[in-house]
Amino acid sequence: MGMGNPIERNIKVEFMSREPVEEQEIEIVERKGLGHPDSLCDGIAEAVSVALCKEYKRKCGVILHHNTDKVQLAAGRSNPRYGGGEVISPIYILLGGRATRVFEGEEIAVDVIATRAAKDYLRVVRNLDVDSHVIVDSKLGRGSSDLLEVFTGNNMKSAQTEMPMANDTSFGVGHAPLSECESIALNVEGRVMDEYRNKEKAIGEDMKVMALRVGDKITLTVGDALVSKYVDDYEHYEGAKRRLKDFISGVAESYTTRDVNTLVNMADTPESVYITVTGTSAEMGDDGGAGRGNRCNGLITPNRPMSMEGTPGKNPVNHTGKIYNLLANKIANDVVENVDGIREVHIKILSEIGRRIDDPKAATAQIIPKSDVNLEVMEKKVLRITDEWLSNIAEITEMVIRGELRTF
């Protein structure tokens, strides 16, 4: 079947009568920030995959089979102190997963590309000396031959002009719109990294935001690994912490009229404070692994349906564990933006191994509608948006390679 032919897709729209998250009594939302050891592994996994995609395209004309989503970080040891400190033992990062190493008899420098991509990515942690504070070890295996077959079909060159076949039976989940708590958790960390970090050198990249809403009271508990060389003493530390708290509260208040109480580095005592040499706890005792942190909307949301499938590092051509999570989020946001009367929508898409990725085993939209809306009209619009995105699913692959989609 050529790509032009219309497919009768298995899409269902279901109307739900449960309480939207915003009206539930208790809501918990977490974000593991840029320099959190789990997020570092996610970032590396994705950077390695994107680098391999680009090299495969350059050398072979097509993206070859790979999944680089098994990154492990074993923490180093350090000795931070006011005004200075040093890393004593480096962070060890293991690049696991699979990658095709030979194309038409020619070897591809998979390990060199992967190691370089990982080190380049780690420069997001400004005070980490990638050459001396980190060891990167590439142990990427070869692709599994039966999955290579699913990936390429029999003819390598025509393989990626055809619609790819799913290389796994897995599902993706997305929801929209974000609740106030979700918006706060996501944007507090985002704006500290984008804006505030440039004003205050002591801010470390390892920041974790936990938001709890009980009724109309929101508590934000934030941990941030301050950088020791920019902190003179305890008094200076307390001042930096207070300024960070004020900035965070300001960001939070732009997303809600509810009461917000912000707490920063709650385990501190005058004898023991949260300072690090590099700005990440990975330098001393905090290990990490890819796929253990944020979902691809940037959040961990126990009040919502979620997929356990880690998005970063999976190949963007036919690994539905990646593609369907990104797609579900795109569809959910598109639906909320373009269809009136929706309070909340959850999208779930399931693939079947060996079946075309634009023809999922099941795609469902579960909607909590506002009262007095025409459900029939709503259903038609949601079906059309979902169907259009599935027809243009290859666009997700391109967006991933261009680095346009968040994966964690």
- Looking at the domain assignment, is residue 282 inside a domain? yes
Residue carrying structure tokens 């591809």: 108
Element (H, E) at 85: strand 84-89
If one counts the domains in the chain, the total is 1
Cis peptide before 302 (omega within 30 of 0): no
- Per-residue confidence (pLDDT) for residue 7, from 0 to 100: 82
CA distance from start to end of the chain: 35
- Per-residue confidence (pLDDT) for residue 285, from 0 to 100: 87
- Looking at the domain assignment, is residue 76 inside a domain? no
- Per-residue confidence (pLDDT) for residue 2, from 0 to 100: 42
- Per-residue confidence (pLDDT) for residue 161, from 0 to 100: 61
**Residues across the chain:** 408
- Looking at the domain assignment, is residue 79 inside a domain? no
- Looking at the domain assignment, is residue 261 inside a domain? yes
pLDDT tens profile 122-176: 999 999 999 999 999 999 998 766 666 667 654 454 445 689 999 999 999 999 9
Closest CA to 370 of 14, 17, 11: 17
244: containing domain = 26-30+180-289
- Looking at the domain assignment, is residue 174 inside a domain? no
pLDDT tens profile 264-319: 999 999 999 999 999 999 999 899 999 999 999 999 999 999 999 999 999 999 99
**Following DSSP, what letter does each residue of 222-264 receive, concatenated?**
EEE-EEGGG--SHHHHHHHHHHHHHHHHHHHHTT-SSEEEEEE
- Looking at the domain assignment, is residue 146 inside a domain? no
Kindly provide the b/e burial profile for residues 70-108, where b requires at least 16 CB atoms within 10 angstroms of the residue's own CB: bbbbebbebebebeebebeebbbbbbbbbbbbeeeeeeb
Residues (pLDDT < 70) of the chain are: 1-6, 144-150, 152-161
Please give the model's pTM, rounded to 2 decimal places: 0.95
- Looking at the domain assignment, is residue 241 inside a domain? yes
- Per-residue confidence (pLDDT) for residue 151, from 0 to 100: 72
Closest CA to 18 of 379, 376, 369, 329: 369
- CATH number, domain at 244? 3.30.300.340
Element (H, E) at 146: helix 145-152
- Looking at the domain assignment, is residue 381 inside a domain? no
Give the β-pairing of 106-107 and 102-103.
antiparallel
Q: d(Cα 83, Cα 282) in Å, to the nearest integer?
A: 20
